[in-house]
């Protein structure tokens, strides 16, 4: 990894260890648990990104839910346009029944979690999972080496409260295998809302995965060497939801040229598929439209341009993770993304709540890697086969302990 090419972000998340200049603090946290993981992104245009006028805004390719649920419908054109080698790497699904209510119900709880008394939040922390279950705030390091207090996260597996009872596995894969922690007495509605939205995002994600599989097979890749994306996701016990709360930014901290990664640093999700809701903004507890058209989710396109991505409030978006890119032999591409905070004057006291559903293979899932892969080639054994759990462990070692 060429250190000089890493994007310098305020909130460089996830993978970046100190040795690579990323200033990461908690090596394992991002690597395993949500496997949302974060690969720092190479970029040659950092200076331009930080000083140029707001980048253009691009609408996601959108698929109506009524089409998505038809298994025999040919959606390969849209899948290619959205997620293929020339796509943005994000696609949105419109008119998902029940989604708008579940989204609002959960996102409205994000500020409530973040504002629970400190001692209650402490109880909700799980250091043994490297903060991949329960409450996590100020555990990751910023680029500057300071702790990231810009956002707080609440993590849980919305599908399984206890993925396994095998102690060996719990010790080996604590970020996947430990049990959920819910604020049962302080915010009992969180568990219900979190599970309901997470399950819906998984169900819709499975439908999308089916169409992704069809597209990949049409491309002549043949069935994936292991399971299809749909089967991989369906049989996994590792899914992880992340309720994110971005604290209002202080204007004094906004002087860094309004960097596009001022709220969440550049990274690529690591697993199979990530579901994303459109964020909810509030100001002094009142829901408001996003107060700054430049704020929100940004991605870097295949031809190295930074664009702001938009999708409708009631659409459900999905991004491709690195593992899917590798297993689809590049037919589906993972996309570097980050989040920009509002920076205009009237954006003070504005917070942002959103939810990400990281769908990733089971720790036991055998992944058959192609002989050439775009990421982490050195981790793959000669026979090209690793379980996802083993692969994740190697990634963690690579980034945080410097061994492969």
Measured distance CA(183)–CA(138) in Å, rounded = 19
Measured distance CA(73)–CA(62) in Å, rounded = 15
Within 13 Å, how many C-alpha atoms sit on residue 116's CB side?
A: 27
Asked if 106 and 242 count as a contact pair (C-beta separation under 8 A), the reply is no
In angstroms, what is the minimal distance from the CB of 356 to Fe ion?
6
Q: Give which of ligand AKG, Fe ion, none residue 242 binds (C-beta under 5 to 8 Å, depending on kind).
A: ligand AKG
> Is the Cβ of residue 237 or residue 267 nearer to ligand AKG in the bound state?
267
> Is the Cβ of residue 173 or residue 263 nearer to Fe ion in the bound state?
263
> Is the Cβ of residue 273 or residue 396 nearer to Fe ion in the bound state?
273
Burial (0-12, 13-18, 19+ Cβ within 10 Å), 209: buried
Tell me which residues touch ligand AKG (CB under 6 A): 36, 242, 244, 264, 269, 276, 279, 297, 337, 339, 354, 356
Measured distance CA(330)–CA(234) in Å, rounded = 22
Q: Give the 3-state secondary structure of residue 310.
A: strand
Per-residue x/- track, 246-275, Fe ion (CB under 5 A):
-----------------------x------
In angstroms, what is the minimal distance from the CB of 88 to ligand AKG?
14
Asked if 322 and 269 count as a contact pair (C-beta separation under 8 A), the reply is yes
| DSSP secondary structure of 335-395 | --EEEEPP-SGGGTTEEEEEEEEEE---TT-EEE--SS-SS-GGGS-TT-EEEHHHHHHHH
In angstroms, what is the minimal distance from the CB of 297 to ligand AKG?
5
Characterise 28 by phi-psi region: left (phi > 0), alpha (psi -120 to 50), beta (else).
alpha
Q: Give which of ligand AKG, Fe ion, none residue 339 binds (C-beta under 5 to 8 Å, depending on kind).
A: ligand AKG
> Is the Cβ of residue 245 or residue 400 nearer to ligand AKG in the bound state?
245
Packed helices 188-216 and 99-107: angle between N→C axes, nearest 10 degrees: 130
| DSSP secondary structure of 123-187 | HTB-GGGTS-SEEEES-SBPTTSSB--SEEEEEE-SS-SSS---HHHHHHSHHHHSPP---TTT-
> Is the Cβ of residue 306 or residue 386 nearer to ligand AKG in the bound state?
306
Q: 3-state DSSP helix/strand/coil percent for the chain, to nearest 5? A: 35, 20, 45
> Is the Cβ of residue 232 or residue 268 nearer to ligand AKG in the bound state?
268
Q: Give which of ligand AKG, Fe ion, none residue 264 binds (C-beta under 5 to 8 Å, depending on kind).
A: ligand AKG
The structure tokens listed for 32 are: 């395993």
In angstroms, what is the minimal distance from the CB of 24 to ligand AKG?
15
In angstroms, what is the minimal distance from the CB of 354 to ligand AKG?
5
> Is the Cβ of residue 39 or residue 214 nearer to Fe ion in the bound state?
39
In angstroms, what is the minimal distance from the CB of 162 to Fe ion?
26
Q: Give which of Fe ion, ligand AKG, none residue 354 binds (C-beta under 5 to 8 Å, depending on kind).
A: ligand AKG
> Is the Cβ of residue 87 or residue 336 nearer to ligand AKG in the bound state?
336
Q: Give which of ligand AKG, Fe ion, none residue 276 binds (C-beta under 5 to 8 Å, depending on kind).
A: ligand AKG
Confirm or reject binding of residue 325 to Fe ion (CB under 5 A): no
In the window 181-220, what residues touch Fe ion (CB under 5 A)? none
Chain residues in the site for Fe ion (CB under 5 A): 269
């Amino acid at each position: 990894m060429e250190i000089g090419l890493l994007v310098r972000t305020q909130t460089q998340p996830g993978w970046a260890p100190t040795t690579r200049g990323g200033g990461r603090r908690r090596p394992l946290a991002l690597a395993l648990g949500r496997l949302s993981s974060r690969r720092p992104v190479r970029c040659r245009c950092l200076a331009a990104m930080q000083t140029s006028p707001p980048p253009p805004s691009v609408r996601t390719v959108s698929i109506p839910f009524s089409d998505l649920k038809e298994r025999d419908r040919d959606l390969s054109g849209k899948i290619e346009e959205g997620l293929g080698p020339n796509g943005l790497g994000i696609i949105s699904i419109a008119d998902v029944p029940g989604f708008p209510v579940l989204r609002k119900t959960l996102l409205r709880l994000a500020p409530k979690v973040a504002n629970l008394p400190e001692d209650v939040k402490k109880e909700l922390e799980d250091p043994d999972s490297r903060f991949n279950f329960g409450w996590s705030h100020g555990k990751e390091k910023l680029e500057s080496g300071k702790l990231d207090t810009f956002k707080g996260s609440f993590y849980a597996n919305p599908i399984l409260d206890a993925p396994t009872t095998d102690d060996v596995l719990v010790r080996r894969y604590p970020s996947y295998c430990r049990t959920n922690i819910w604020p049962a007495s302080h915010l009992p509605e969180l568990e219900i809302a979190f599970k309901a939205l997470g399950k819906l995002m998984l169900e819709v994600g499975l439908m999308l995965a089916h169409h992704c599989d069809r597209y990949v097979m049409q491309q002549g890749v043949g069935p994936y060497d292991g399971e299809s994306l749909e089967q991989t996701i369906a049989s996994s016990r590792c899914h992880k939801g992340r309720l994110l709360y971005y604290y209002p930014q202080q204007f004094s901290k906004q002087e860094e040229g309004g960097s596009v990664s001022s709220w969440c640093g550049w990274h690529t999700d690591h697993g199979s598929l990530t579901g994303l809701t459109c964020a909810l903004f509030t100001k002094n507890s009142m829901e408001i439209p996003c107060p700054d058209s430049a704020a929100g989710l940004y991605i870097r396109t295949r031809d190295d341009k930074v664009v702001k991505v938009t999708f409708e409030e009631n659409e459900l978006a999905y991004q491709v993770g690195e593992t899917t890119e590798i297993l689809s032999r590049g037919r589906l591409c993972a996309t570097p993304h980050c989040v920009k905070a509002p920076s205009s004057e009237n954006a003070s006291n504005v917070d942002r709540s959103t939810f990400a559903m990281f769908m990733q293979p089971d720790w036991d899932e055998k992944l058959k890697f192609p002989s050439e892969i775009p990421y982490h080639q050195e981790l793959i054994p000669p026979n090209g086969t690793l379980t996802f759990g083993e692969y994740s462990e190697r990634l963690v070692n690579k980034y945080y302990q410097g061994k492969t």
